Amino acid sequence: MPAVTADTVQLPRLAEPALGAVDRPVRKIITAPSGFEGEGFPVRRAFSGVRLTDLDPFIHMDQMGAVDYGPGEPKGTPWHPHRGFETVTYMIDGIFQHQDSHGGGGLITDGATQWMTAGAGILHIETPPEELVVRGGLFHGVQLWVNLPAQDKFTPPRYQNLEAGQVVLAASPDGGALIRVIAGDVAGHQGPGSTHTPISVVHATVSPGATVGVPWNPGFNALVYVLGGRGTVGPAATAIEGGQLAVLGAGDLVTLAADDRQDSVTPALEVLVLGGRPIREHVEAYGPFVMNTRAELAQAVADYQAGRLGVIPANALMPHRV
Ligand code: MN
């Protein structure tokens, strides 16, 4: 799992949790079902079965892969629209190429994040580049959907490309865990992503046998998704493993501990810790649109069909076929 790696000895350390800090309890553990997205790439639906009020301000998350493709097998999405929210695509292994109807685009690879504010409307494509399609290879990432409040649903579309080198790194007090701050603030470590709705996204790698208390904004919700490996979460050391999500209750920190023994595929506990300030508005979602009312959804579909969410550019990137 490349993402961004570093020797924790060199990194700034998180402080020990403050006396009296509340360790967020586990309210629920779910196992993400497997499915397929776009033109048929394998995903796990990380938030499946969790109430939107527990996810708020998030809507949806897919773990994409991990899959080791043979030649000719890599797949992405065709051109498709979005309105009313932001997509955050974090690539851990492999490459996704991206282009949108507002001139944004580029390669997202090994630890980089692409942040797309769809706002009023956008068309885009996410696809493996030709060289990856031809040769095959490892593909592993995450796509997270962050809601926009009603007042920002029609904000102009925006694109932020966060390179792997911009991810802010820190270590647990004993150096046993690597903390990558992709967005938001964790105990003063400010990640590069800028969002309408305040959120924090952390990718933590916890070495076998190690424990870390990740300070967490008490005004945010807290979700822990395990990308790989096994360990425990919360004050009662609730067991959790790859493909499972923990919904946590209120408090000041999130405790993660890696089992002494891990498997050879994932030699450490790899987790995403996610949270944000709840928007507390009614959500109506349909396919690629996330709005507040059913009338707004119908309008989004009509606007898309009329070309008002954008048009596929003349030099459009298209899926590569072998
Ligand atoms: Mn999309």
> What share of the chain has pLDDT > 90, as a percent?
84
Helix (H) or strand (E) holding 296: helix 294-305
- pLDDT attached to residue 9: 84
Residue 302, classed as helix, strand or coil, is: helix
Is pLDDT at 28 greater than 80 in this prediction?
Answer: yes
Measure 8 CA to ligand 1 centroid, in angstroms.
Answer: 34
Q: What is the pLDDT of residues 236-254, one digit of tens each?
A: 999 999 999 999 999 999 9
**Ligand 1 centroid to residue 177 C-alpha, Å:** 32
Residue with tokens 């040769």: 135
Cβ atoms within 10 A of the Cβ of 34, count?
12
Ligand 1 centroid to 124 CA: how many Å? 6
State the distance from the centre of ligand 1 to the C-alpha of 97, rounded, in angstroms. 12
CA of 80 to the centre of ligand 1 (A): 6
Ligand 1 centroid – CA 116 distance (Å) = 9
For 265-300, how does the pLDDT look when each residue is reduced to its tens digit (9 = 90+)?
889 999 999 999 999 999 999 999 999 999 999 999
Query: How many angstroms is it from 151 CA to the middle of ligand 1?
Result: 22
Ligand 1 centroid to residue 141 C-alpha, Å? 14
Q: pLDDT tens, 35-84?
A: 999 999 999 999 999 999 999 999 999 999 999 999 999 999 999 999 99
* C-beta separation of 114 from 108 below 8 A: yes
Q: Which two tokens stand for residue 233?
A: 């979460």
Evaluate the CA torsion angle 82, 87, 92, 95 in order and state its sign.
Answer: positive
- The pLDDT of residue 1 is 59
Residue 199 has pLDDT above 90, yes or no: yes
CA–centroid distance, residue 213 to ligand 1 (Å): 33
For the record, the structure tokens of 193 come out as 């992503």
Residue 2 has pLDDT above 80, yes or no: no
Three-state DSSP class for residue 101: coil
Give the side-chain half-sphere CA count within 13 A for 175.
Answer: 6
Q: What is the pLDDT of residue 62?
A: 98
User: Which of 187, 248, 255 lies closest to 223, judged by CA?
Assistant: 248
List, for residues 148-174, the tens digit of each pLDDT value. 999 999 999 998 888 989 999 999 999
> Ligand 1 centre and the CA of 215: distance in Å?
31
CATH 2.60.120.10 fits 13-305, yes or no: yes
